[in-house]
Structures are given as C-alpha cells and as structure tokens.
Amino acid sequence: MSTLQEAAIPAKETQTATQISGSQAVLESLLTEGVEIVFGYPGGAIMPIYDALYDYQDRIKHILVRHEQGGIHAAQGYARSSGKVGVVFATSGPGATNLVTGLADAQIDSTPLVCITGQVFAHLLGTDAFQETDVINITTPVTKWNYQVTDATEIPAVLAKAFYIAKSGRPGPVLIDIAKNAQIQQFDFEGYKPCNHIRSYRPKPVVRKEYIEQAAKLINEAKKPFVLFGQGVILGKAEEEFKKFIEKSGIPAAWTILGLSALPSDHPLNVGMLGMHGNYGPNVLTNECDVLIAIGMRFDDRVTGRLDKYAKQAKVIHLDIDPAEIDKNVKTAVPVWGDCKETLPILTRLVQEKKHTEWVNTFKNYTAQETEAVIHDELHPTAGIMTMGEVVNVLNELTGGESIIVTDVGQHQMVTCRYAKFAKTRSNITSGGLGTMGFALPAAIGAKFGAPDRTVVAIIGDGGFQMCIQELGTIMQSGIDVKLLILNNEFLGMVRQWQQLFNDKRYSFVNIASPDFVMLANSYGISGKKISLREELRDALQTMLNHQGSYLLEVMVGKENNVFPMVPQGCSVAEIRLK
C-alpha cells in the first residue's frame, strides 16, 4: 500500500495513558470538577499534594488559613454563597481532627464539601506512627461518605464519587483520606470521568404523583393553611418555584434560620421567623392552622418546642428530598418525597388560586402586637446604650438588603436573623444545627471568595470572634475584602440570658474580657473603629461599607439586653413569651 493510500485511511482514535503521580491526579481531578479555589494548611502527610500544587498555582487558587477549623468554615461559607462544592486540604493527625467540628456543622446544615486529608504511609497504618489518627472512624458519624485511599490508581474514581455524593440529593461533607505512598505513586492516568451514578445510592427519591395530588386536595380544602420553609428551597435552587406556589395558593409562609433569604424579606406572604426566638405570629399560629406545609425543613427542636404540643390540630404535608426526615419528628398526613424543584411545580399546577386574606391579616395582627411589645424598642430606642437590633436596622437601611450577612452563634445571631432584610437568595450564612461559635469570621472569608462581587458583612459577638480570631491573618495575606461588625456586650450573651431567666441571675463564667479589637485588627493591616454612642452609628457603618478592603467596626451594646420573643425550653410554640 502506498503512503498516499495509508494517509487516506483514518487513524483509529486511541486514548493514551500518561504517567503521573497520585498527587497530580488529585489536582487534575479538581480541575475537571471545575474547582477554582481550595482552603488548606500544609503538613507532612499531605506534602506531596502541596508539592504538586506548586505547578498548578495559576489554575487552582489556594488560600492559606491559620487553622484547619478556619479552613473548613471558610469552605462552608464559599459553598453557601456560591452554590458550589467547597474544598479543603489538611494533613494527618491534628490537621484532620481539626476538621471534625466543621464536618459536623456541614453535615447537619447540608453543606457540600470535599475534604482531602493526607495520611501516613500505608505500611504504617495501625502502628501509632507520628501524626497518625484513624480519621475514617473518627469522621464516619459526621460525613455523608468517607474513604481511605492507599493506591494511587483509585484516586480519580474515588474523587469523582466524592464530588457526586457531596453535591447530589441532600448535600453534605465527604472526606477522602489519602496515604502518603498513594500521593507519591506513579500510575497510568487515563483521564478523569465525573460520576453521575452509584449503584445502591439514590440521591433523589422517586416522585409519587398520587401523594402530590393528596397534598393539593388538603391545601385546596384548607381554611388556615400555613407554609414553613427551610434551606431545602435554596439547596434545590427552587426559589422561583416556591414563590409561584405561595403566590398562587395565597398561603402565608415562615422560615427557619437556614431558609432565610429564599424569599425576599418584603414579600407580602413572608410572615417571619419560626422557632425559639422567632416571630410571635408564626409560633402561635402554628398551633391554630388546619394544614401545615413543611418544605425543605426538618422540624428541628428549636422550631417545634414540645413535640407533644406541636401542631396537633393540623394535617401536616412534608416535602423533602431526604426520606429519613419524613415522620422523624412530626407525624405527616401526606409525605411528598423528592427535590422541591420538581415537586413544587406539580403541586402548584394542582392547587387552586386563592387569597387567604383574613388568615394573612391574623399574622399581621400578631406582628402589630410584637412590634408594640418588642420590635419598636429594639429597633428604635431613644435612650440608653445601643441595642443589637438598632445596629442591624441601620445596616439594613444602608445596604438595602443586597449584602451577604454571615453570623456567628449567640444573641447577635438571633437578633440578626430576626431583623436583617434580604432581597436575594444565598444572602444569610450562619451555623444552624450545630451552633458553632467561631464560624463567622472564616465563613465570611469563604463567602467573599464565593461571591466576589457582593458585599459581605460578618456580624459577630465578642465571644465567638475570639474563637477563630487567628483568621485575621488569612484576611491579611489574601487581601480579601470583608466587613467585620463586632457587637460587644462584654458577656457570653445567650448563656447569660438563660442564666438570668432560669438560674436566678447566677452568672457563672459568662463575663468575658476582650483585647483591643481595633488595635489587633490594625496589627493585621485591617482598618477599624470602636464606637459606643448612638450618634456615631450611621456614619461608622457607612464608613465601614465604603472602605476599600477589610474593615472592623466594634459597637458597644447593652450588656444585659435579652432577645425576645422566646419559647422557653420545654414549652410549646404557643407559649412564646414577648417579655
């Protein structure tokens, strides 16, 4: 055969394998998954991956945190603001165990993470080698899935599975522990294939239309229907579908703290916050509605109060992607399994167009009572030291509800969730189910990387700020622009409130001394100011928002101000106290 004839025959397509290390395979896998940023801290057992990362710096941005807990909280903030999977690197031993709090937080709040930890050489496993811990057994209760890699050839498939599990169905954290020998090992890399199916893993339950039809029938017959919505609406990217459902059905809707911002704060059917420090009407009227429609929420104890006195008069419809949540805490009349982005449009087509005007006005009447008893004095005090509520209220006026607000845990968290206004989804980032103090500072850093075009304000208590205060160094080195608003009442405020109300004011170890926060921020190259006068508040907040780069504003607030309304522990939601 002539050379010309040979040229005319198309060559067979062949995929040639390339020899690379396990560490390179990790990074190639991340690139194919679209990962742009990793939060991490190097160490001996993960050093080969960091060595490989040296050659990938122009394609994967690495943020050097100051503590692994800061790294995983930053990844959580990134995931929550961007809707993408957060990625964390940590070394073995203490590096891996420092992730545990963040893993537990992400697990209970359904945040998609892939955490990659280094591990000692495979032949040393079980020998109590230097910085060896059994990270797989330690993290099994707080991960959606975990796996230990001891052979580099597993890396591409394992990481593909990790990303699929982390982001599919009800999201959650995944941890992959990679032995050092697997990081170094050379193997034939044939490319990375993303995963979209795992046998025996069904991330979305089959939607059963007959249950949706039953739900629609109950809703159409209801005189006092009430919607409770949670983060499932946001995770399912179903904000528009949810809005169409409540607008057609005319049903008032209240939110959990993780559901906050799924519906604009000023929407006429948005009736407020559920739970222990929620709004008066939504709590009381939970025990008066005839049909209760729960969407993407899990009936947490802080929402329900006493279960034996919770909504016993109502027929409960529960829409959730996780079948394990159905009937777990509250018995349902109709379970609607599935992704609410799929189930809500079907339900909306079947419900009748209505306006429950009298029922909605009942919520407004309770709001008026709450405003007179609590809200007005909290947001518009005329004398005395500043309240947390008035700080949040002025911030609302200056941001127009356009900012991302990240909160820590405590009184300031409840006040912010009660009074902050949001115009866009994915704007409220907080530690919900675990209640992790120290969350806000690193989470705000991650949130800004996840949404670089939006203003990010971290509202933090003086106690929580000191738990991850070292992450000011991450701000300094990365040059990220976050606004840090410390509400300082010189107490561990929420514990103090409980000690006041239920322990006869026996203030046991809740007085907390703080450093000069502004001076400390300045030492990290961050500008700041401390104020204690009401007349300074608006200008100080405006200065903070206008400042180019990170800024810390410390506001001194009332030492013994309490957060009300409040459902005392052991009481029903209808027993909520205004004072």
Catalytic residues: 68, 130-131, 180, 494
What is the full DSSP assignment across 405-422?
A: EEE-SSHHHHHHHHH---
d(CA 395, CA 296): 29
Choose among 410, 381, 370, 377: nearest CA to 578.
370
Choose among 457, 398, 470, 449: nearest CA to 427.
457
d(CA 401, CA 127): 55
d(CA 160, CA 193): 7
The answer to whether the beta carbons of residues 565 and 280 sit under 8 Å apart is yes
Token code pair at residue 45: 């057992």
477: helix, coil or strand?
helix
* Pairing between β-strand 86-90 and β-strand 270-273 as defined by DSSP bridges: unpaired
Task: Find the length of the chain.
Answer: 579
The answer to whether the beta carbons of residues 539 and 554 sit under 8 Å apart is no
Token code pair at residue 139: 């993290």
Element (H, E) at 30: helix 22-32
Angle at 278 between CA 418 and CA 369, to 5 degrees: 90
d(CA 131, CA 564): 47
What is the full DSSP assignment across 187-248?
A: EEE--------BTTB-SSPPP-HHHHHHHHHHHHH-SSEEEEE-THHHHTT-HHHHHHHHHH
Token code pair at residue 26: 């990790």
Phi, psi of 201 (to 5 degrees): -110, 115
Choose among 490, 489, 494: nearest CA to 511.
490
